[in-house]
Structures are given as C-alpha cells and as structure tokens.
C-alpha cells in the first residue's frame, strides 16, 4: 500500500481525498498557494508545503513545484483530484520518472482521451456508439462543407483540444459554415493553443448521460451505473443525479455493459467516466474523463462504493475490491453545486463568508472546505461546496433536497442557493423532463421576467 500521498489540489476535493487517505491509514501532504494557507485541507493534513503565489499557473499548475514538494515531504504518490493537473499526461510522466505513483490512469490513456479525435477513434474501435461526424480533423472549408452535407444540418464544430463548451460553434445552415469555422478555429487557438477542429451532428434536445467505470489496469473493469448531468449552463454542470430519470432498465444495462467491456479492452486503470449524449433511445459518445468527477458522490450514494478508496487501492497494485455482480443501485441521489455566484447572471461573488450553516439529517452529505470566517479567494473556481442528497426513491430524494436547501445558510456573499430553490419547485424538474438546453432556457425566461 502507498505510504504517503501528496494531494495536488485545493478546496473540497482536496479535503475529500484527505479523508479517504485517513480512513486507509495513509499519511497526507497538502500543497497550497499563499492565499490558501488557512484552507481546511492544509489544517487537517499531516504535512503541508507552500508551492507558490495565488496564481494557478505559479502554484497548482506548477509541475516542478509539486514534484519538489513530493521530494521535500517524502511522498510516494500524488492524487490530482479533478481539474488542474488531473488530466495532464506530461505531469503523470514526470511523476513516474521520479518514482512517484500517479493515482490515475496511464499517461498514454490520458493522452488518447484528451484528444477528441483520438478518443472518438478509440471509442469506435472499442464498440462504443458515437455521434456521426468527421473521421478526423477538418483541413479546410471544402472538407467542412462535404462533411456537413453528408451528416446533415445542424452540425457543431468542436475544438479537438477543447472542453467545457469552449471552442464550439453550432451551424444550422450551409451559408453560416465558413464564418463559424473561422470563429471556432480562432477561439480554439486563443484558448487551447491549437486551431484543430472537427465536426459532428448537432443533436437538438439530448440529455447528458455519463457512466462511471473503474478498471484495474490488467484487463478487468466494472461500471457503477450512470449519472444524468443534463442541467447545465454554458456546458458547465449544475445539478447531477443518479440514476437518470430518463433511462429504463434495459438501456441502463446495455450502455453499462458496453462501457465496462470497452474499458476492460483498453486496459484502463483507475476511475474514469465515459460521457454520452442521449436522444430518442440512442447513446452517442462525447468524451472520456480520465479522472474523478466533481459529481462522483451521487454514484457513491447509490452504490455504497468509495471511489477514492478504489483509486488508491488500484494505484497501490491491488485488485478491484468489488465485482460487477455485487454492484447494486439503491435509491436515488442528487447533487447541487453551490457556487459563490449571483444566482441570475452568475457573476462571481468572492468575499468573506460571515455565517455558514449546513443542513443535516438522514441522507444528507456536504462536500465543502469553507467555514464561517472563510474568505472566498478570487483566483480560483467559485465552488463553495456540493450538497448531495440520497433517498429511497426520487420523490423522497426531491423532498429531502427541498428541506436541505431551506436549511443551507451562506451569508456575506451571493450564492446559487436561490437557483436550486427555484428548480426544486419546477414541474419539469419534478417530472425529470429536461435536456441539456433546459436550464439556459429557464434562466433566459427568468432574466426576461426580471427585466
């Protein structure tokens, strides 16, 4: 078993990993920027190392500083959490070259799945259904017109190195293709340093369904059911639930088996998530995230499997602790991401939290690293914490969530708590009748009403 883990992250995910380490009897090392010196993960870790100033580039994204911190503290493994360096193949390679275990997949798998074109080709080879589109990168306007004509409008142009909705352009007619292609290339170059793009069929009203997998790196993999992440704003997830209210048992079993078999064939190691668009009973591969997801707690709630424990065990060379036939989905779980943002226009709201009170009771879990008197820094993402609610069924889960939201108090800054209080009372949400465009349409109507 690994002896000491350096947690190369901050906030709630750093605290989440730290708790798992303590439960496994593993020593922990927290790294932090100067602005995070008083953070909870720093307070609770066995050791801490300052790795630089507030800027992410100079601290949490500084690979050399993190490796140096490992050497200073004698850490034999690194858990990257999510975001920052969690899907950086070069970082994984550097750690391995220093004899430090990267708690995640191989650098080769990170690199393959980090390239949208290679990921799609790999998905096809492994028997995963994909969205119709270009077989590779689009070289010029002529090729773009041919591909778009073949698959039919509307189409969507995507950055090969992209993510989070950036570098995407929807094209509804042939007349708009050339301008949109140039815009997508320009945006991709500015954000990701590459102007490589590809084209796919644009689905009008799909849901976002993702399947959680774990592999041992030696040809065995299991799935832990799906999560529905369709409530999004600008391609950023806001509300996630498991299981999806849109799937029946047959479709759930089918896609789970496809994904588990594909992961086994790939020889995948550790936790990962394969994401799909789902429309009219069909699944279409989007991408694979080669890391722990923000929304992993809803899967833990319905399966009882600690995903971070499994990550650490597998990285230590152990086998999966559970087989597919022992995975059962019990009840229903929903996660709400509580951000330090205006609930209507989503402008960031950093500042001092003067009072912080979290809900409690049966089926309530809070993943957060803030406290009364904590100051939300302006340098990082605005996540305050995650409210995860579990019930015996979706109705009980929704009622419990309504109660929990009413108990949740964050004073001193604006938060997105009011947004969830609106959502929990909405008929479409109660009925599970929504898609990836629903939330933005809802927010547009709210803004019009306010005007």
Which residues form the catalytic set?
291
Query: How far is the C-alpha of 422 from the C-alpha of 221, rounded, in Å?
Result: 39
* CA distance to 90, 93, 199, per residue, from 116 (Å): 17, 20, 11
* CA distance to 71, 307, 401, 448, per residue, from 397 (Å): 46, 22, 6, 31
Q: Where are the beta strands (DSSP E) in 323-382?
A: 332-339, 351-352, 355-357, 364-368, 375-376
Q: Are strands 77-79 and 155-159 parallel, antiparallel or unpaired?
A: unpaired
- Copy the structure tokens of residue 218: 């030696």
Query: How far is the C-alpha of 53 from the C-alpha of 36, rounded, in Å?
Result: 9
Distance of CA 104 to the CA centre of its chain: 14
Distance of CA 164 to the CA centre of its chain: 10
The kind and range of the H/E element at 96 are: helix 89-97
Selection from 435, 441, 406 nearest residue 421 by Cα:
406
Do 148 and 202 form a contact (C-beta atoms < 8 A)?
A: no
Selection from 404, 391, 413 nearest residue 358 by Cα:
404
Phi and psi torsions of 5, nearest 5°: -115, 130
């Amino acid at each position: 078993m690994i002896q000491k883990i350096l947690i190369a992250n901050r906030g709630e995910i750093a605290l989440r990993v730290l708790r798992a380490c303590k439960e496994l009897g593993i020593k922990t090392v927290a790294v932090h920027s100067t602005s995070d010196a008083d953070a909870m993960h720093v307070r609770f870790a066995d050791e801490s190392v300052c790795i630089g100033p507030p800027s992410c580039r100079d601290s949490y994204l500084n690979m050399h500083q993190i490796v140096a911190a490992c050497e200073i503290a004698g850490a034999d493994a690194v858990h990257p959490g999510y975001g920052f360096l969690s899907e950086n193949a070069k970082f994984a390679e550097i750690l391995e070259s220093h004899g430090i275990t990267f708690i995640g997949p191989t650098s080769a798998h990170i690199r393959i799945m980090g390239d949208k074109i290679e990921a799609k080709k790999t998905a096809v080879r492994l028997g995963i259904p994909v969205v119709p589109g270009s077989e590779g990168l689009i070289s010029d306007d002529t090729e773009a017109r041919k591909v778009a004509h073949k698959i039919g409008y509307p189409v969507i142009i995507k950055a090969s190195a992209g993510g989070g909705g950036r570098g995407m352009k929807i094209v509804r007619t042939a007349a708009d293709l050339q301008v949109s292609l140039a815009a997508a290339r320009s945006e991709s170059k500015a954000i990701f340093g590459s102007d490589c793009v590809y084209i796919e069929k644009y689905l009008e009203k799909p849901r976002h369904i993702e399947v959680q997998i774990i592999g041992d790196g030696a040809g065995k993999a299991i799935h832990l059911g799906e999560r529905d992440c369709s409530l999004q704003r600008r391609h950023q997830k806001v509300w996630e639930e498991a299981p999806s209210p849109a799937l029946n048992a047959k479709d759930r079993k089918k896609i789970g088996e496809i994904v588990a078999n594909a992961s086994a064939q790939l020889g995948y190691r550790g936790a990962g998530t394969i994401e799909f668009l789902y429309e009219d009973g069909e699944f279409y591969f989007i991408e694979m995230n080669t890391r722990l997801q923000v929304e992993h707690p809803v899967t833990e709630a319905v399966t009882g499997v600690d995903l971070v424990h499994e990550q650490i065990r597998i990285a230590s060379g152990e086998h999966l602790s559970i087989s597919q036939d022992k995975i059962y989905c019990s009840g229903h779980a929903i996660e709400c991401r509580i951000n330090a943002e205006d609930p209507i226009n989503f402008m960031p709201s950093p500042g001092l939290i003067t009072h912080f009170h979290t809900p409690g009771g049966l089926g309530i879990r809070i993943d957060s690293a803030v406290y009364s008197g904590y100051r939300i820094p302006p340098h990082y993402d605005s996540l305050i914490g995650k409210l995860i609610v579990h019930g015996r069924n979706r109705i009980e889960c929704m009622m419990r969530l309504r109660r929990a939201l009413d108990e949740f108090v964050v004073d001193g800054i604006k938060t997105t708590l009011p947004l969830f209080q609106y959502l929990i009372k909405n008929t479409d949400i109660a009925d599970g009748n929504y898609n990836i465009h629903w939330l933005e349409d809802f927010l547009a109507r709210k803004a019009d009403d306010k005007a």
